[in-house]
């Protein structure tokens, strides 16, 4: 059953599965791209913005979602498919400056950036901006 898979995903990340959390995970799982809080709010009409935000914050704290600054002034969320505390599924994202959508480029890993001694990176946000295939032909 689909909701069992979503419940298992929450449990695997140390999150108690509630009806609202399952709805948020289901929406993120079904999305073909990272989603903003506003997009999730329009998709999940039975939940208010604060409930969605609380779930996303809990998911972030438990490494269930990546938080992506899309370069267009918005924050987007996508499910993290790694296990445990390390984000080993980091990949490049593409922000279309015309349609303002953010896409996962799953087959392109984030390159390793050598940092000077003393720097300790905690997150990586690798964003390329331009026009998506749909917008570039218009």
pLDDT digits (tens, 9 = 90+) for 6-46: 898 899 899 999 999 999 999 999 987 889 999 999 999 99
Closest by CA to 55, choosing from 32, 34, 26, is 26
Stated pTM of the model = 0.74
Q: Which tens digits make up the pLDDT trace of 90-115?
A: 778 888 889 888 888 878 878 888 99
Residue 28: per-residue pLDDT: 94
Q: Do the strands 75-79 and 65-69 form a parallel or antiparallel pair, or are they unpaired?
A: antiparallel
In sequence order, what are the beta bridge partners of 127? Answer: 93
């Amino acid at each position: 059953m689909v909701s069992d898979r979503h419940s298992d995903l929450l449990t695997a990340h140390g999150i108690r599965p509630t009806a609202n959390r399952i709805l948020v995970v289901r929406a993120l799982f079904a999305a073909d791209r990272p989603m903003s809080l506003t997009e999730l709010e329009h998709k999940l009409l039975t939940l208010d913005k604060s409930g969605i935000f609380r779930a996303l914050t809990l998911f972030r704290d438990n490494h269930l979602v990546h938080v992506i600054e899309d370069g267009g002034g918005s924050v987007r969320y996508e499910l993290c498919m790694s296990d445990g505390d390390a984000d080993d599924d980091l990949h490049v994202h593409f922000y279309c400056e015309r349609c303002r959508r953010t896409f996962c480029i799953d087959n392109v890993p984030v390159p390793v950036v050598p940092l000077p001694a003393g720097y300790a990176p905690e997150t990586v946000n690798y964003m390329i901006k331009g026009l998506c295939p749909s917008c570039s032909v218009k």
